[in-house]
Structure 1
Amino acid sequence: MQKRKLSFELTIFAGLAELSKEDQTLMSKAVAARKNAYAPYSNFQVGAAVFMENGKTIIGSNQENASYPSGLCAERVAVFQAGALYPGIPIKTVAITATSRNHVVDSPAAPCGNCRQAILEYETKQQKPIRLLLMGETGKVLQCNSIADILPLGFDSSFL
């Protein structure tokens, strides 16, 4: 029998002011996108901003539906839009921020499993890591250097 410990490096910033100007701008675009979320059922609004290798930024917000499985998370809206607009252009960073109409979200919200899987597909396809910036509505910001860090045993095309 073997045992293996999986770990990754996580950078924790006290707040937006500690980020680079480029990352502050990207997160501000995610915050703006969050305001366009359609979340009448959960009251949980998420915004995402994708920074591409060509310098373009694509935004997305969660879009709910009364038939819950029919909605889409902000991360997938932004990543799929980036892939549709700029096929073959690598994604460098995805900034994600969340808030709630029911309470203050003061800790970073990580992508759900479906979003992790979707982002991993793009990371695998482009053969370059996709960095994540995660923030609530206030407080600290987390940085992960690769989506694979938070989905270490991800499913990819090698299994097919």
Structure 2
Amino acid sequence: MKQISITTTISVYNSIEELSEFELQMMQKAIAVRKTAYAPYSKFKVGVSLVLDNGKIVTGSNQENAAYPSGLCAERVAIFHAGSAFPNSKIKQMFISASPENEELEVPIPPCGACRQSIAEYEMKQEEPIAIFFMGATGEVYKTDSLKNILPLLFDKKYL
């Protein structure tokens, strides 16, 4: 038997004020769209803004459904919209803000497993990493330069 050690690097900003002016604007868009989420069951709202290589900004919020598997997370709403509306564009950056309705979480909330797999698909499709910034409602912002940093042993088409 042998062991494999996997390490990753994530940048930590103490608050959104430490982001560049453009990054701050994109995170503010994620925060604003988070407030439009349809989350009557979980009461957990997520907002995302994407920056595409063509200069377009795409946003998304989570959309729940009483038949739970029928809803979609904010990350996938935004990614799938970008893929549909701008099929030849690459996603350069993703900004995520997440928090329950009844409190202001101050800890960064990363994408769920299903969303990580969807982000991985687009990184592989475009053959270029996507920088991901994520936070709660307030507080620290984490940044990873690629989905591979938070999903190092990803499943991709080479296994199919």
TM-score range, shorter chain: over 0.9
Q: Give the SS at the match of 2:125.
A: helix
1:8-157 paired onto structure 2 within 5 Å: 8-157=8-157
* Cα shift readout 1:106-143 (whole Å, capped 9, x = no counterpart): 11110000000000000001010011000110100000
Tell me how far apart the structure 2 counterparts of residues 16 and 106 of structure 1 sit (CA, whole Å): 12
Show CA shifts across 1:21-73 (max 9, x none).
11101101111110110000011110000111111110000000001111000
Amino acid at match of 2:159: F
Question: How many residues matched?
Answer: 160
CA distance in 1, matches of 2:88, 2:152: 24
Report the residue type matching 1:5 in the other structure. S
In the aligned structure 2, how far is the partner of 1:7 from the partner of 1:55?
Answer: 33
For the residue of structure 2 that corresponds to 1:106, the secondary structure is coil
Looking at structure 1, the residues matched to 25 and 103 of structure 2 have their Cα atoms a distance apart, in angstroms, of 25
Percent sequence identity over aligned pairs: 48
Query: 72-81 or 98-107, which moves further after superposition?
Result: 98-107
Q: Deviations over 1:70-120 (max 9, x none)?
A: 100000000110111111211011100012123221111100000000000
Aligned residue type for 1:85: A
C-alpha distance in structure 2 between counterparts of 1:89 and 1:5, whole Å? 35
Unaligned runs of 5+ in 2: none
- The offset of 1:20, in angstroms, is 0.6
Paired letter, 1:88: N
Q: Distance in 2 between matches of 1:57 and 1:89?
A: 11
| Counterpart AA for 1:102 | N
SS in 2 for 1:105: coil
